[in-house]
């Protein structure tokens, strides 16, 4: 019996070693791309916070707040987190090649904790990639602890995370790549050096120490917000004309969903045939597992776009299409 256990463990260790070796080999093959593309596209951000906002460290000295940012559009546009820049009006951006640039704030969206700033320089833009799959290798690049840019690697632990409690609207990629204070606003990239998310949050109970549960805002949500911030200075949301809430306990089931609580008369949802009491199970074919998921899906929609809802009314399953209103 003991021999069989030992042989089984040896087999498992062998498989894990093989996976690790393959992963390291693949990353080694992309090291040049990481060096040339990513490090020049990720910047360090130093906002000029007030002394009251900075707080003090364990020695009593004022904290030196720093974070990270990603060049997301030509013309010097850089995405970062709202919590990185705070209420600062004076922001320094430091590039990997040693430049220190003054940044102008284009807009902040507190619903998603995404901000857009601009510098008078043209930084290289990373290619974006589709949402990665579970266990795919990724690396986080950022200004961790304000020490300068560093690279930490891990895997994708989960996708489509929402309801984590950081922001009202969330669409996170979860990773075990180490992230520490200062890394917020940095890039999460795949093995080809393509951008898959913007590092946003560390899940920890009582300290800022990394415990392997970290979150990056997905590229679709990131670009949805920064494009609007560039064009309007704020996010323009599509109006569906209904309010929904979580399913009551008596109706909760493994598939999840959200219940329509009210519908605006003559609004887009009303015209499409949605009624109070309907249960929304899918939007555009994607499962609505909870209210936070529904909110994230709808947030990505712009005025004039359509969305297809799969609903349940009593015993009847229905599908309807809503054309969103708004500015």
Query: Quick check: is 41 catalytic?
Result: no
Between 3.40.50.1820, 2.40.160.40, 2.30.42.10, 2.60.40.10, what CATH number should domain 242-323 receive? 2.30.42.10
| Residue 38 confidence (pLDDT) | 79
| Residue 1 confidence (pLDDT) | 53
Residues 6 or more apart from 155 whose CB is under 8 A from it?
134, 135, 136, 137, 138, 175, 176, 177
d(CA 320, CA 48): 50
pTM of the model as a whole: 0.83
Active-site residue, from 48, 83, 282, 290: 83
Fold of 36-53+63-119: Thrombin, subunit H (2.40.10)
Query: Quick check: is 83 catalytic?
Result: yes
Query: Quick check: is 234 catalytic?
Result: no
- CA 177 and chain centroid, separation: 14
Q: Is 267 helix (H, G, I), strand (E, B) or coil?
A: coil
Start-end of CATH 2.40.10.10 domains in the chain: 36-53+63-119, 126-232
Active-site residue, from 68, 109, 113, 162: 113
Work out the end-to-end distance of the chain between its first and last CA atoms, rounded to an integer number of angstroms: 71
Active-site residue, from 41, 157, 162, 184: 184
Start-end of CATH 2.30.42.10 domains in the chain: 242-323
Torsion region of 163: left, alpha or beta (phi above 0 gives left; psi -120 to 50 gives alpha): left
Alpha helix stretches (DSSP H) within the chain:
2-29, 31-33, 39-41, 51-54, 82-85, 219-232, 268-272, 291-299
CATH class for the domain made up of 126-232: mainly beta
Residue among 296, 288, 229 at smallest CA distance from 78: 229
Q: Note down pLDDT in tens along the chain; length 327 residues.
A: 554 544 444 444 444 444 444 344 444 444 445 656 678 999 999 998 765 566 666 666 666 679 999 999 999 999 999 999 998 889 999 999 999 999 999 999 999 999 999 999 999 999 999 999 999 999 999 999 999 999 999 999 999 999 899 999 999 999 999 999 999 999 999 999 999 999 998 876 565 555 778 999 999 999 999 999 999 999 999 999 999 999 888 777 667 899 999 999 999 999 999 999 999 999 999 999 889 999 999 999 999 999 999 999 988 999 999 999 986
Residue among 161, 163, 164, 222 at smallest CA distance from 188: 222
């Amino acid at each position: 019996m003991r021999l069989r256990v030992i042989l089984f463990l040896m087999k498992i260790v062998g498989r894990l070693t093989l996976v690790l070796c393959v992963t390291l080999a693949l990353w080694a093959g992309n090291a040049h791309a990481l060096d040339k593309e990513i490090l020049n596209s990720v910047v360090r951000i130093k906002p000029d916070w007030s002394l009251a906002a900075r707080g003090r460290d364990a020695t009593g000295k004022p904290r030196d707040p720093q974070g990270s940012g990603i060049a997301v559009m030509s013309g010097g546009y850089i995405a970062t987190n709202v919590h990185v820049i705070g209420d600062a009006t004076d922001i320094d951006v430091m590039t990997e090649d040693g430049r220190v640039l003054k940044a102008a704030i284009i807009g902040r969206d507190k619903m998603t904790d995404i901000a857009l700033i601009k510098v008078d320089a043209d930084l290289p833009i990373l290619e974006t990639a589709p949402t990665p799959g579970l266990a795919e290798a990724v690396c986080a690049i950022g200004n961790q602890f304000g020490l300068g840019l560093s690279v930490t690697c891990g895997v994708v632990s989960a996708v489509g995370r929402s309801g984590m409690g950081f922001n009202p609207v969330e669409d996170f990629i979860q990773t075990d790549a180490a992230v520490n204070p200062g890394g917020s606003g940095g890039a999460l990239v795949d093995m080809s050096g393509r951008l898959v998310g913007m590092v946003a949050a560390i899940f920890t109970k009582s300290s800022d120490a990394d415990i392997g549960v970290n979150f990056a805002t997905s590229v679709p949500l990131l670009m949805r917000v920064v494009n609007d911030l560039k064009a309007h200075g704020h996010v323009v949301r599509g109006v569906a004309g209904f309010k929904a809430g979580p399913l009551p306990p008596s109706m909760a089931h493994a598939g999840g969903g959200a219940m329509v609580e009210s519908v605006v008369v003559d609004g887009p949802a009303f015209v499409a045939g949605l009624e109070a009491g309907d249960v929304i199970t899918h939007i555009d074919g994607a499962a609505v597992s909870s209210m936070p998921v529904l909110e994230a899906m709808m947030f990505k929609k712009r005025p004039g776009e359509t969305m297809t809802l799969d609903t349940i009314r009593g015993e009847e399953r229905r599908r309807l299409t809503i054309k969103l209103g708004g500015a």
